[in-house]
Amino acid sequence: MTFRLMTTAALVCAAGPAFAQQTPANVQTAPEIFEMREIVSGLDNPWEIALAPDGWLWVTERSGLKINRINPEDGTLETVAELTNAAVPGGQDGLMGLALHPDFGNGTDQIFTAYTYDDPDYSNPLVTDPESPYLHLRTKIVRFDWNAESGQLENETDVITGLPASNDHNSGRIKIGPDGMLYYTIGDGGNNQLANWCRPILAQRLPTADEVGAEDWIAYQGKSLRMALDGTIPEDNPEIDGVRSHVYTYGHRNMQGIDFGPDGTLYASEHGPKTDDEVNILEAGGNYGWPNIAGYIDDKAYVEARWSEAPDCADLTFSDLEIAPSVPTTPESEWPVPENYHAPAATMFTVPSDWNFAETECAGIDYVCWPTVAPSNIEYYASDAIPGWQDSVLIATLKRGSVYRAAVSKDGRMVQQPFERLFDGENRIRDTEVSDDGLTIYVAVDSGGVIEGNEGGVVTEMTNPGAILAYTYTGENADVPADGGASDGAADGSDQAAAAPVELGELEGPAVSYTAEQAEAGKQVAMTYCAACHGADFASANYGPPVNGQVFQRNWHNKEAVELLTKSMTMPPSQAGTLSPEQYADVTAYILSMNGMQPGDEPLTMDSAGYVDARASE
């Protein structure tokens, strides 16, 4: 297999967009009209939708660890497998991607799926806490046979085991290409940020020949993989730095979406940091720049900050907004660009360096209002059923409650902005699938999380939690204004208004008591079990709602502390009750301490009387 090398001249052309850059605030609403129908609801974080030749949808439940068949006409649901060997300790692991064999329905009724599992014989060298539920976590891809008579998946067979897994950025999308090979994405593990700020990003690290020979896949983080359907390394895989492995491309952050165009072009969607979510075209042996580059090589609103290299890393508090003085940094323009670097086909979105990331209407949960969309999947739309849509990409998003559409150039090499926004709503859209006639877009919705509300600000409850929705095209909307119905929000972050301060009243009774020892113990438990979803500061992750700062004040001030403790006991959502009652009380005490409450003499228990007092955090 050969792969294209990007020339210096091409790099100059790819260094930035040659058009007026969009932001989430000025993306136009598409004129097409769709009728929405809820097919099923209440699934446990549906993650992948695959359309079978018989018209049924195959759906994985990430935290429910189930594979289902769903009839989109009447909502009939059949659970065909429960993955009892899978492990789901947090918010981004569990049962993920699924792909049907290319000959499914024509003699080879097999499916491929990926899930995380515990391997007691393995300890992740990047996990230093011996009590961490992620210490032994790995990922595998397996194959099942479909028995139509019994209505069950049978004969689970390992395709590849021992792949990296983490509490964050697992990626996990599977596609089988027109070449008959299996493609799989693995993220960077969420390293160098949030709860993992002292773990190095390995997206640029390539596997050695010895590692490949020993089937040690630690360097597969931040990569896309290409393998035969039996898990072996194809002979025509790219040889990178003298080593042939499963690695197809590298330099990725969190690539949750891949799909093939009709001509075999492989498109990908990828989460950026505070800016520059990416749409990429994957080519064998390509380096896509992360963490040296986010988006284009333009030195706009991103600098590589290597927290894990700081000599005092363990003593630092990670921040997305302020880089500690001891953290080494490198501007994008100082990266020695390799010949095999590939710039994005598009970004969502690139903003100036003076963009105000702190003062937003999402104050307290600022990341929801940052100029990114959190792309969870990409789908190539090849049909001519919807006028003007043929040869487009559809990008599902988690933060904005929408699917974005952009046209693809005739040669398939460019994604042509501007983007249009579809299905605006208060749902975290995890995946999409297109019906055979091209008129219906099937959508999977997360069970929970945080999202930007239709009227601005933040919403923590989905309109259709855990649902599979069908959006069917019915025509055009002649009433859409010339500006596409874009929101009134400013396209320039410097003009964004901060949310009004929270006004906290007097307590209805005495403040609850907790001890300093509880808070200290709770911090250790929280860093192990909670920080991956809520952030190390309990205010800056993008999955769990903040429980520190203005959001906590607004939701919990003047409520009985036992209510907060009871709520804590429902965490983590996929494994409620994992901790002991004492540990839940310790974590709750730590939350109270972060929000300014002073410790007392009596420990916090389910029998404690008293109220949450968040006034000290003002």
pLDDT at 11: 41
Q: What is the pLDDT of residues 328-353, one digit of tens each?
A: 999 999 999 999 999 999 999 999 99
Q: What is the pLDDT of residues 26-51, one digit of tens each?
A: 788 888 899 999 999 999 999 999 99
Would 88 be classed as within a structural domain? Answer: yes
- Judge if 463 and 525 occupy the same domain: no
User: Which residue is it, tokens 């119905």?
Assistant: 485
**415-422 and 403-408 beta bridge pairing:** antiparallel
Query: Is residue 607 over pLDDT 90?
Result: yes
- Judge if 444 and 530 occupy the same domain: no
Compare 528 and 613 and report the one with higher pLDDT.
613
Please report which confidence band the pLDDT of residue 116 belongs to, taking 50, 70 and 90 as the band edges: very high
Distances (CA, A) of 337 to 223, 257, 275, 341, 594: 18, 25, 21, 7, 43
User: Could you tell me which residues are beta bridge partners of residue 99?
Assistant: 112
Q: Which amino acid is at 100?
A: L
| Lateral strand order in the sheet of 277-282 | 257-260, 266-270, 277-282, 346-348
pLDDT at 13: 39
Q: Which amino acid is at 351?
A: V
Query: Is residue 543 over pLDDT 60?
Result: no
Helix (H/G/I), strand (E/B), else coil: 510: coil
Compare 142 and 476 and report the one with higher pLDDT.
142
From the candidates 169, 252, 342, 534, which is the catalytic residue? 169
Q: What is the pLDDT of residues 388-430, one digit of tens each?
A: 999 999 999 998 889 999 999 888 888 988 899 999 889 999 9
What are the φ/ψ torsions at residue 190 (nearest 5 degrees)?
Answer: 70, 25
Query: Is residue 445 over pLDDT 60?
Result: yes
Q: Is the dihedral of CA 185, 186, 188, 194 positive or negative?
A: positive
d(CA 417, CA 323) in angstroms, rounded, equals 33
Nearest C-alpha neighbor of 377 from the set 96, 2, 586: 96
Rounded to an integer, the average pLDDT of 422-442 is 96
What's CA 12's distance to the chain center, in Å?
A: 30
Query: Is residue 478 over pLDDT 70?
Result: no
> What percent of the chain is modeled with pLDDT above 90?
69
- Judge if 250 and 105 occupy the same domain: yes
Q: What is the pLDDT of residues 244-263, one digit of tens each?
A: 999 999 999 999 999 999 99
> Between helices 561-568 and 581-594, what is the axis angle to 10°?
120
169 is an active site residue: yes
- Judge if 432 and 526 occupy the same domain: no
**Domain termination site, one of 445, 473, 501:** 473
- Judge if 456 and 594 occupy the same domain: no
Would 31 be classed as within a structural domain? Answer: no
Structure tokens at 115: 């899930």
Taking phi over 0 as left and psi of -120 to 50 as alpha, with beta for the rest, 285 belongs to left
d(CA 398, CA 377) in angstroms, rounded, equals 10
**Domain termination site, one of 473, 488, 507:** 473
Q: Is the dihedral of CA 414, 19, 429, 76 positive or negative?
A: negative
- Judge if 191 and 315 occupy the same domain: yes
Query: Is residue 487 over pLDDT 90?
Result: no
Query: Is residue 7 over pLDDT 50?
Result: no
Q: What is the CATH number of the domain that holds 544?
A: 1.10.760.10
d(CA 65, CA 47) in angstroms, rounded, equals 10
Query: Residues of 74-107 as b/e, b for ≥16 C-beta within 10 angstroms?
Result: eeebeebbebeebbbbbbbbbbbbbbbbeebeee
Q: DSSP for 15-74?
A: SS-SSPPP-GGGPEEPSEEEEEEEEE---SSEEEEEE-TTSPEEEEETTTTEEEEE-TTT
> What percent of the chain is modeled with pLDDT above 70?
89
Structure tokens at 172: 């996990």
- Judge if 520 and 467 occupy the same domain: no
pLDDT at 226: 98
Please report which confidence band the pLDDT of residue 488 belongs to, taking 50, 70 and 90 as the band edges: very low
Rg (the chain; Cα; Å) = 24
User: Could you tell me which residues are beta bridge partners of residue 408?
Assistant: 415
pLDDT at 185: 98
Q: What is the pLDDT of residues 172-226, one digit of tens each?
A: 999 999 999 999 999 999 999 999 999 999 999 999 999 999 999 999 999 999 9
Query: Is residue 286 over pLDDT 80?
Result: yes
Half-sphere exposure of 374 (CA within 13 A, CB side): 23
- Judge if 132 and 244 occupy the same domain: yes
Query: Residues of 194-226 as b/e, b for ≥16 C-beta within 10 angstroms?
Result: bbbbbbbbbbbebbeeebbeeeebebbbbbbbb
Rounded to an integer, the average pLDDT of 228-240 is 98
pLDDT at 8: 32
Rounded to an integer, the average pLDDT of 6-28 is 53
pLDDT at 490: 36
**Domain termination site, one of 473, 500, 531:** 473
Would 77 be classed as within a structural domain? Answer: yes
**468-476 and 440-445 beta bridge pairing:** antiparallel
Rounded to an integer, the average pLDDT of 529-537 is 70
Q: What is the CATH number of the domain that holds 129?
A: 2.120.10.30
DSSP secondary structure letter of residue 499: P
Q: What is the pLDDT of residues 553-593, one digit of tens each?
A: 878 888 998 999 998 888 876 667 778 999 999 999 999 98
Compare 525 and 183 and report the one with higher pLDDT.
183
Please report which confidence band the pLDDT of residue 494 belongs to, taking 50, 70 and 90 as the band edges: very low
Provide the residue range defining the domain that includes 116: 40-473
pLDDT at 575: 67
Would 208 be classed as within a structural domain? Answer: yes
Would 24 be classed as within a structural domain? Answer: no
pLDDT at 439: 97
d(CA 391, CA 263) in angstroms, rounded, equals 11
Structure tokens at 65: 């660890």
Please report which confidence band the pLDDT of residue 519 belongs to, taking 50, 70 and 90 as the band edges: confident
CB-based contact 185:268 (threshold 8 Å): yes
- Judge if 554 and 407 occupy the same domain: no
Rounded to an integer, the average pLDDT of 472-479 is 77
Lowest average pLDDT, out of 237-241, 259-263, 272-276, 353-357, goes to 353-357
Number of folded domains in the chain?
2
Q: What is the dihedral of CA 90, 92, 96, 97, to 10 degrees?
A: -170
Residue 541 neighbours by CB under 8 Å, 6+ apart: 194, 195, 367, 531, 532, 533, 534, 535
pLDDT at 479: 54
- Judge if 200 and 273 occupy the same domain: yes
Lowest average pLDDT, out of 62-66, 270-274, 463-467, 508-512, goes to 508-512
Average confidence score pLDDT of the chain: 88
User: Which residue is it, tokens 């080494």?
Assistant: 328
pLDDT at 269: 98
Nearest C-alpha neighbor of 377 from the set 422, 424, 429, 431: 431
User: Which residue is it, tokens 């902005």?
Assistant: 417
Neighbour count for residue 360 (Cβ, 10 Å): 24
- Judge if 424 and 530 occupy the same domain: no
What are the φ/ψ torsions at residue 431 (nearest 5 degrees)?
Answer: -155, 160
Would 302 be classed as within a structural domain? Answer: yes
Would 482 be classed as within a structural domain? Answer: no
- Judge if 188 and 314 occupy the same domain: yes
Would 17 be classed as within a structural domain? Answer: no
